[in-house]
Chain A
């Protein structure tokens, strides 16, 4: 299994500001995934972060709005830039479990409210 520490767990932010979410894994992993989950909705993949290269963004998400860092194999950050109320959501980081099973492990999530 993988243990993921994510912070902050929640925050209330003002419109126009930026917030950086951190994700720390207890083991080295190749890929880390950042998801958004809007209230009562399913999960939407924002981007995949690989160490040593730029993140790969999904349709509808851009680097200027959601810059991602991946400085090593156990850590990643996601920044939500120039926030608006529409960015209010839960942001989740996840990693694949060992053994190539495809199973995803998730952090506890960061619940973001933008006023």
Chain B
């Protein structure tokens, strides 16, 4: 239905490796938002994508919205310890519908 499926649930990476989380919907999305939640913190808005095929960058973060507006991804290049946290996608209906989140864990 209106849910957004987010995978993977966890991703363990070495510092310096890349990280990607994916968000998928069975229906067309009007837009998709991405949030980051640091451990013990609250969600913080990162970006909103609205256009088919849209690609936006914030430093080492690249956000994509699929051509069919049914999927989105967040890619982090060369992860750093400050990237640790859980990344959520959320679709906007009359309220936000949240994905399950992907937890980024940096291996010691």
Q: Which residue of the partner chain B has the closest CB to A103?
A: B45
Contact, CB under 8 Å: B33 / A106: no
Q: Does A102 contact B (CB under 8 A)?
A: yes
B48 touches A106 (CB 8 A): no
Q: Which of A42, A48, A58, A101 has the most CB of B within 10 A?
A: A42
Cβ-defined partner of B42 (8 Å) among A33, A48, A58, A92: A92
Q: A42, A43, A105, A109: which contacts B45 (Cβ < 8 A)? A: A105
Interface size class of A (residues with CB under 8 A): 10 to 19
> Which of B54-62, B63-71, B73-81, B97-105 contacts the other chain?
B97-105
Interface size bucket, B side? 10 to 19
- From A42, A58, A103, B98 is in contact (CB under 8 Å) with A42
Chain A residues within 8 Å of B31, by CB: 102
Q: Is the interface of A mostly helix, strand, loop or mixed?
A: loop
A103 and B43 in contact, given A42-B98, A42-B101, A45-B96 (Cβ under 8 angstroms) = no
Docked-complex contact A106 and B42, CB < 8 angstroms: yes
Q: List 26 A-B contacts (CB under 8 A).
A: A33-B95, A41-B100, A42-B98, A42-B100, A43-B43, A43-B88, A44-B98, A45-B95, A48-B95, A92-B42, A92-B43, A97-B45, A101-B48, A102-B33, A102-B48, A102-B96, A103-B33, A103-B48, A104-B33, A104-B35, A104-B43, A105-B45, A106-B42, A107-B42, A108-B42, A109-B42
Give me the interface of A with B, judged by CB distance under 8 Å. 33, 41-45, 48, 58, 92, 97, 101-109
Write the residues of chain B forming the contact surface with A, with a CB cutoff of 8 angstroms: 31, 33, 35, 41-45, 48, 88, 92, 95-96, 98-101
